[in-house]
Amino acid sequence: MTFTIPGNPVTKKNHQRILKTRDGRSFVAPSAQYKAYEDSAGWFVPAKNINAPVNVKCLYFMETKRRVDLVNLLESTMDILVKYGCLKDDDSKIVQGHDGSRVLLDRKNPRVEVTITKMEDNDG
């Protein structure tokens, strides 16, 4: 299965803010920028509820050459795929690899191209 999430990918970890509850306790929340990206991504993520071992390959086409952490991008994408029901969970029993994932440049069409493939049976 392959699908595309349009827009410049946003990491969850590097875009955080500290907010306070009504009783004054602090907590960490994603930035408004990440939340907007997450909300818009939901329109493009197929709800498949995958619960079998898969490889999730993500090609991140960024609009600038700024430094970015692939692991943080993957974390954000996995959270989005779980939130919108594409994956049942992003633990290692389901997402067994991210083989082929990388960061590329496309100034005119930033996006994430996601390819999910079933893993071969490796029970020996």
Query: Mean pLDDT over residues 20-41, rounded?
Result: 82
Q: With 80 as the cut, is the pLDDT of residue 20 above it?
A: no
Q: What is the pLDDT of residues 32-77, one digit of tens each?
A: 788 889 999 999 999 999 999 999 999 999 999 988 999 999 999 9
Give dist(CA 82, CA 75) in Å, integer.
Answer: 11
Residues 68, 104: contact at Cβ < 8 Å? no
Q: What confidence tier does 9 reach under pLDDT thresholds 50, 70, 90?
A: very high
Instruction: Give the phi and the psi of residue 82 in degrees, each rounded to 5.
Output: -70, -45
pTM listed for this prediction = 0.85
Give dist(CA 91, CA 71) in Å, integer.
Answer: 15
Mean pLDDT of the chain: 89
Q: What confidence tier does 115 reach under pLDDT thresholds 50, 70, 90?
A: very high
pLDDT at 118: 95
pLDDT at 13: 67
pLDDT at 47: 93
pLDDT at 48: 93
Closest CA to 99 of 66, 53, 61, 63: 53
